[in-house]
């Protein structure tokens, strides 16, 4: 197994573990197993945007391209759901409307981004997880200084 594949597996396990912790907090409060699915959606399934990027770039989606995503070969990177702005907007509404399902989803999503951001901080800095920053740079990988998603 390559180092890159091992890092992807470890990253997925960390996201899953954090999502399970968020679920356990919600479950302790409500006793409702439904929050398991909500926490997994926010903390793990949010990576679906890697597949969307793959589709936009390569006109097809394959598990291999998603798992070993060749970002250095790409001209653009979107990753729309890896965005602190979107988390903030959804969090505002989730807390304004006092919606526990949405709060669990947002909390899992925010922790997912935090883990990704901290993991990649030395290579990319903080700005890469802001959609506005990527938009300002035209989503072009060569303009996103230090941008690499390859471990």
pLDDT at 3 (0 to 100): 72
**pLDDT surpasses 50 at 1:** yes
**Distance in angstroms (rounded) separating the CA atoms of residues 124 and 98:** 35
Angle subtended at Cα 77 by Cα 43 and Cα 150, rounded to the nearest 5 degrees: 70
Domain-wise residue ranges, the chain: 3-136
Range picked from 53-57, 98-102, 112-116 for highest mean pLDDT? 98-102
CA distance 45 to 66: 13
Average pLDDT value for residue range 126-145 = 87
pLDDT at residue 112 in the model: 94
| Model confidence pLDDT, tens digit, residues 5-54 | 777 788 889 999 999 999 999 999 999 999 999 999 999 999 888 888 87
Judge whether residue 2 has pLDDT over 90.
Answer: no
């Amino acid at each position: 197994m390559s180092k890159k594949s091992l890092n992807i597996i470890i990253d997925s396990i960390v996201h899953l573990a954090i999502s399970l912790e968020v679920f356990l907090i919600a479950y302790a409060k409500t006793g409702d197993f439904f929050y398991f699915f909500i926490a997994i959606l926010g903390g793990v399934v949010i990576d679906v945007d890697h597949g969307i990027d793959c589709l936009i770039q390569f006109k097809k989606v394959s598990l291999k391209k998603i798992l070993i995503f060749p970002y250095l070969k790409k001209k653009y990177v979107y990753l729309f759901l890896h965005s602190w702005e979107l988390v903030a907007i959804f969090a505002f509404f989730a807390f304004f409307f006092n919606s526990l399902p949405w709060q669990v989803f947002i909390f899992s999503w925010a922790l997912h981004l935090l883990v990704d951001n901290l993991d990649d901080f030395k290579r990319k800095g903080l700005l890469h997880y802001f959609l506005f920053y990527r938009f300002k740079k035209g989503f072009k990988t060569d303009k996103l200084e230090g941008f690499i998603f390859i471990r």
